[in-house]
Amino acid sequence: MKFFLILFIAISNQFLFAQNVLWEFQTDGRVYSSPIVDGELVYFGSGDHKFYAVHKRTGVKEWEFETKGAVHSSPTIFENHIYFGSTDGNLYALNKNDGSLVWVFQSEGEKMYDIWDYYLSDPTSHEEKIYWGSGDGNMYALNGITGKLEWKYQTDDIIHASPVIADSSLYFGNYNGNFYSLDIENGDLLWRFRTIGDSYFPKGEVQKAALVEDGTVYFGSRDYNIYALDAKTGRGKWNKKTGSWVISTPFAYKGQLFFGTSDSHLFYSTNKANGKINWEVPVEMRVYGSAIAHEDIIYFGSFDGKMYGINYKTGAVAWEFQTESSKENYHRMFREEGGFKEGFVLYGENYLKSEKLIHALGSILSTPLIAENIIYFGSSDGKLYAINLK
């Protein structure tokens, strides 16, 4: 009787899990881009050089637009236009309804910092301007309607961190470990902050966007630190050193900051006011994407091919989704009881082979989006997922 009860529960769980997958949309490249939803469509880019619009309830493609490079930039919308960047060095503005090209702006050229430089700068809109960083070291301000250059600011190193706007200031970091605040109207420098650096990573590179909230700027760095700065002056409020790179943009919820780390494979909750650690949750791989909240559950993806939902107060896992690629390839890297299998070396002579195997898990670098109890996110298996949380 006990055997049949266990079998019934297992079959039931499989059925319920299958029912929760609303749809999957397959592309021909890795999806690092974070999706956005507008009306009935969800928009995202892929490493197959294409930008897609698919119906949010069915996953049926409405249109696609092809560039000459990987689209690892997440989009933004202003009025009837949707904007995104490509590794071909261009920023594109499309009609969001039919995907027709409105204008294209050419930077001075994109570049990749290293193999862990996965993202491009996401364009940010404010009134009629679009702000966008580039591998050429420039932060650009463009007219969102015409694509005309309004101003640019040269930082002398790669900008793949997305700009953030608050109180007429533009905030972003670059790969030289500098963090900037500019006047959004003319691009004048308001202040600059230099990360501390680390013996192994002295530049203290800033890879992703900051969070600006309640007069404070929060961001992570490859020098293992998360920083909190005064938004008006750039003076430090606090910093917390973790066990490895902090790539993900910190997420604030109910007085707490949530963020993941790279090689220490941890997800943190810290006090927003002083950086004191509330709890930390171990995962099997890196966390580069940012977190979101829904009904007191914090959702984030990991390089292990899993999307986690955890209780914001305790860190207890309340929900989990694993890609099919992760299920198929997990045993190639991990032991059943957890941890890497004997013989797997993360950063040995064959580190490129190791990275390829990691992405074979369907790694989730995309920051998820929740709309109407549906969670959307991309994966290294080339898919955009839509999972019904109810």
DSSP output for 75-90: PEEETTEEEEE-TTSE
Quick: pLDDT tens for 103-113: 999 999 999 99
The 211-213 sheet, strands edge to edge: 211-213, 216-220, 225-230, 236-241
User: Band of the pLDDT at 1, cuts 50, 70, 90?
Assistant: very low
By percentage, how much of the chain surpasses pLDDT 70?
95
What is d(CA 150, CA 185) in angstroms, rounded to the nearest whole number? 9
Interhelix angle 351-359/324-333, nearest 10 degrees: 150
Pairing of strands 266-271, 306-311: unpaired
Q: If you average pLDDT over every residue of the chain, what do you get?
A: 95
- CA-nearest of 150, 139, 151 to 180 is 139
Kindly tell me if the per-residue pLDDT of 7 is higher than 60: no
Q: What is the pLDDT of residue 390?
A: 84
- CA-nearest of 362, 354, 257, 346 to 307 is 362
Which segment of 14-28, 127-141, 192-206, 298-312 scores lowest on mean pLDDT? 14-28
What is d(CA 211, CA 291) in angstroms, rounded to the nearest whole number? 12
Which amino acid type is present at position 17?
Answer: F
What is d(CA 366, CA 261) in angstroms, rounded to the nearest whole number? 15
Kindly tell me if the per-residue pLDDT of 358 is higher than 50: yes
How many CB atoms within 10 Å of residue 335?
A: 12
Q: What is the pLDDT of residue 12?
A: 42
Quick: pLDDT tens for 199-249: 999 999 999 999 999 999 999 999 999 999 999 999 999 999 999 999 999
What is d(CA 377, CA 311) in angstroms, rounded to the nearest whole number? 20
**What value, to the nearest 5°, has the Cα angle with vertex 315 and ends 313 and 319?**
110
Kindly tell me if the per-residue pLDDT of 14 is higher than 70: no
Kindly tell me if the per-residue pLDDT of 192 is higher than 80: yes
**DSSP E strand stretches across 134-235:** 138-143, 149-154, 164-166, 169-173, 178-183, 189-194, 211-213, 216-220, 225-230
- CA-nearest of 389, 383, 384, 353 to 370 is 389
- CA-nearest of 270, 299, 267 to 366 is 299
Q: Give CA separation, 67 vs 92, 113, 228, 280, 352, in Å.
A: 9, 21, 37, 40, 26
Q: What is the mean pLDDT of residues 171-199?
A: 98
In 3-state terms the chain splits into helix, strand, coil percentages (rounded to 5) of 10, 40, 50
Kindly tell me if the per-residue pLDDT of 3 is higher than 60: no
Q: What is the pLDDT of residue 84?
A: 98
What is d(CA 348, CA 366) in angstroms, rounded to the nearest whole number? 26
